[in-house]
Amino acid sequence: MGWQIASSRLTHDFSALPFKMKELTSLIKITPQVDGSGLRLILQNRFNDATLFFDELTVSHDEKMNDAKSITRGQQKQIAIVGNGAVHTDALPFEVVAGQPLYFRMRASQKQTYADFSCVYDETFYNAIMAGTKNAAPHLPHNWQARKGWFSISCLEVWTDKKTPIIELTGDSLAETGMIETGLIKQLLSRAVVVNTGISGNRLLHDAPQDGPLYQTFGESLIKRVAQSTDSRPHPVIALIGSNDLVLPLIDGQSAHELVTSGQYLAGVSRLKQILDDRRCPLILATIPPFSPHVAPQQENVLLDAQQRRLLINQELRRFEWVIDLDPWLLDSDGGLKEIYDFGDHLHLNAAGGMVAAQAIMQKLSQFGYGK
């Protein structure tokens, strides 16, 4: 018996765009991917200098929080997370069934700033809502085109006799939105745990721009994030990255001079693979998916150039056996994203697009002996 990760989603650095709330009630749905007889959480406050206080943290099998059980820290109901820190909650005996959601409610009664933020769009396995009062009873939303976010909860662990392997899904918003993650979890449930370290706006080669608070949430480059990781467990890493290396210069002034060449991108991929090889984490990299976002007329030539660079990069990536070619699944006859897989912005995937991308990933995983 031991503690096993049953669900994990990275909390992002929103210190540039913090949430300042006088009170808080947050309801979060998390679906475990492993059975167990007990649970505990990892709560983060890494991107905030001040201590966070949660007056109540409870869990239930029911969205209405019937028969909810208290989760404590040091046997105390009020949980404090020091600034720039993280804590484990106490172990709670609780039935956990893979594929059956758990509901967590967090309440805070004092004015605080929250900077450790997670979010999802696909609500199949995760969902969340927050209210600005401590006694609210919010209902989970049902809108796959809207972002659902929560604070501080980064990992659910269960007490189990199973040793379930980890598969990491990383990169940019193609990972973070949950569309592809959902497809993978559906096919790997109880056989592997998909952990998500994607960050919206993330790039392979460059850190987040600093010329706007939203841009600053895009995180350090994936190469830097992987190099700084303290996770010592060998596990496969599926990376969806590169779209923002080509698209962000179209919309952000500071990034305009950072449009990468195919040679620069391929050198970055080689560096990424070497770092992961040294950690004994096999890389499975997707080609850069097609994109055709709306741009101002004066930028149409810049967009066309970015699309041509995508083609050149993907042409070179296809030479590697550890690369998944997404174009046969997603590319339309005009060089853009197929309408049936389009989130609506001609850049991101909807649920159907996530499922076909997951199928392509599963085929590559099976070739390498994972997920069986």
Residue 371 has pLDDT above 90, yes or no: no
Domain boundaries in the chain? 2-160, 166-367
Q: In what order do the strands lie in the sheet with 166-171?
A: 193-198, 166-171, 237-240, 283-286, 323-324
Q: Please give the residue that has the higher pLDDT: either 293 or 210.
A: 210
Mean pLDDT over 298-326 rounds to 92
Residue 298 has pLDDT above 80, yes or no: no
pLDDT tens, position by position, 172-184: 999 999 999 999 9
Mean pLDDT over 45-51 rounds to 97
pLDDT of residue 353: 96
Mean pLDDT over 207-213 rounds to 95
Q: How does residue 194 score in pLDDT terms, banded at 50, 70 and 90?
A: very high
Mean pLDDT over 321-345 rounds to 93
pLDDT of residue 132: 95
Domain 166-367 superfamily per CATH = SGNH hydrolase (3.40.50.1110)
Mean pLDDT over 282-304 rounds to 88
Mean pLDDT over 313-334 rounds to 95
Mean pLDDT over 308-333 rounds to 95
User: Which of 28, 25, 23 has its CA nearest to residue 41?
Assistant: 28
pLDDT tens, position by position, 87-129: 999 999 999 999 999 999 999 999 999 999 999 999 999 999 9
- Rounded to an integer, what distance in angstroms lies between the CA atom of residue 372 and that of residue 126? 24
- Rounded to an integer, what distance in angstroms lies between the CA atom of residue 287 and that of residue 239? 9
The conformation of residue 141, written as its DSSP 8-state character, comes to -
Q: pLDDT averaged over the chain? A: 95
Residue 50 has pLDDT above 80, yes or no: yes
Q: At what angle do helices 300-317 and 262-278 cross, to 10 degrees?
A: 40
CB 140 within 8 A of CB 38: no
Instruction: Write out the two tokens for 74.
Output: 């040091």
pLDDT of residue 334: 83
Highest mean pLDDT, choosing among 205-214, 251-260, 329-338: 205-214
The backbone torsions φ and ψ at residue 73, rounded to the nearest 5 degrees and listed phi first, read -135, 115
Highest mean pLDDT, choosing among 153-157, 292-296, 346-350: 153-157
Mean pLDDT over 352-359 rounds to 97
- Rounded to an integer, what distance in angstroms lies between the CA atom of residue 146 and that of residue 151? 17
- Rounded to an integer, what distance in angstroms lies between the CA atom of residue 317 and that of residue 324? 9
Model pTM score: 0.96
